[in-house]
Structures are given as C-alpha cells and as structure tokens.
Amino acid sequence: MFHLVIDIGNSSQKIAVFEQHNLLHTEITTSLDSKKLAQILAQYPCSHSIISSVNQEVAVLEQYLAKQNTYIRFTAGTPNPIHNQYQSPETLGLDRLATMVAVSALFPKQNTLVIDAGTCITYDMLDAQANYFGGSISPGIQMRFRALHEFTGRLPLVSFSPEHIDLVGIDTPTALQSGVVNGLLAEVNSIITQYQQKHAQLNVVFCGGDANFFDSQLKNSIFASNSSCIPHLVLIGLNEIIHHQHE
C-alpha cells in the first residue's frame, strides 16, 4: 500500500511516496500540477494522499487527488496522535506540527527536541507523554547574512561557506562568517543545554536544509551527544497522519 505525501512551501514542493512507513521516493520541484501527479501515481498506485501547503491555492491538485484515492488536506484541525497545547494552534506552522507527529512515531514515549535548520531555525519539543506546548523561532543562517548586509551601509552580502569557519575573522567577509556561524552554533548548543536541564534523556533531532551541518558540528559536543539527523522529518510526519486516520 503506497501513500503520496506532498509538502508545498513558498518556493518549492516536496513530494514523497511511502510504502507503509518506508520512504521509497522523494523529489523537489518548483512546478507541481496534475500531470506530474499522474506520472507519480502511474508508477506508484497510491491508496492515500495528503497535502500540507502554506499556499491555499491547491484546489486543482486536491480535486485531482480526491478522484484518485483517499485524500487528506493537512490543517491545524486534522486529527493527529499528539496532544497539541499550543495557545493559538491555527497560527502554528504546519511543518512544525508535522515534525512533532513524526517524532511521536519515531521516538515514542521519549523527550525529543527537534531543531529545524532552514530559512528560520525552529526549536520544538515533544515530551514523553506526547505533549507539545510550543517552542521558539530564530533567524536562519542565510537570513542573518542578509540582515547584516541590508540593515547596514557597508557590510557586504556573504554566502554561507561551511567548509571551514575560524573563530577569528581576518577580514570583513570572514569576520561575518565567524560571527554568524559561530554565534548560531553557540545559540543551538545553549538551547539544547537548557532543554536537557529540564528534561532527562533528551533526544535531539536535526532536520531542514542545514541539518547536516549542525549535526556534524555539534556531534562531538557533550550537549548534543544523543543527536541524529533526519532530513525528511516533515514528510514522515505527514505520512504518519495518514496512518493515524486510517489504521
């Protein structure tokens, strides 16, 4: 039994096919239409599908999928296996909610902190009783570089170069690299430490576009020794929503 999972963001769409809980196929596209869906369904005859979208204009895709299989539109009100205590659930990013659903399945009855390192850095924790209370949002790496350039008169726009970040910058570009990257690593480490002080045996999971960088940089830290990198956490969570509703 195949499941089709679609995560539509501001600039790209992520598509995945699962067989039960196993991820079989993933791809990223900037243009998703019924023709593309037909190609995927021809290869993987999916019994269920789900869309999570920051863009409300997905009616054509929804109409097509509803005719092909059992379709779910993922919203803040969609039934899921966690206890969402967020005070304004309708404003909670669906990607953040999906990651909490994912770790509830991957790390059942365990305290798990998810650090999503994308455009923004988000910190969200699911406790051992599957309670989610909220988290925090911080500017991501590229956003910090852009802010330094756009809100000053002379600082250049520097691109993120993960190969080698020195503590001491020897010119303006390397000083910016040091400040942004080392400052963000210190932030992540500090937040992990604070969560560990409150919650015993904490799992730390990184996801998002810069997940591998943070995981590798913090792997040897005593604060993030129990960390892992799961790049497709949002897609996994959406697949778990299907299972939750139809099992």
Query: Which two tokens mark 198?
Result: 């409150």
CB contact at 8 A, 62 and 43: no
Q: Say how far residue 70 (Cα) sits from the centre of its chain.
A: 25
Mutual orientation of helices 141-150 and 183-198 as an angle, nearest 10°? 130
Which pairs with CB-CB distance under 8 Å and at least 24 residues apart come from 132-140? 132/82, 132/83, 132/84, 132/85, 132/86, 132/97, 132/100, 133/85, 133/86, 134/85, 134/86, 134/87, 135/96, 136/191, 138/187, 140/210
Please tell me the distance from the alpha carbon of residue 243 to that of residue 99, in angstroms, as a whole number: 15
Question: Any catalytic annotation for residue 215?
Answer: no
How far is Cα 3 from Cα 138, in angstroms, rounded to an integer? 33
End-to-end CA separation in angstroms for the chain: 12
**Any alpha helices (H) in the chain, and if so which ranges?**
34-43, 59-68, 94-106, 141-150, 172-177, 183-198, 211-218, 233-246
Of 68, 101, 50, 114, the closest CA to residue 236 belongs to: 101
Kindly name the residue from 95, 116, 124, 210 that is annotated as catalytic.
95
State the residue for tokens 């902190």: 113
Please list the active-site residues. 95
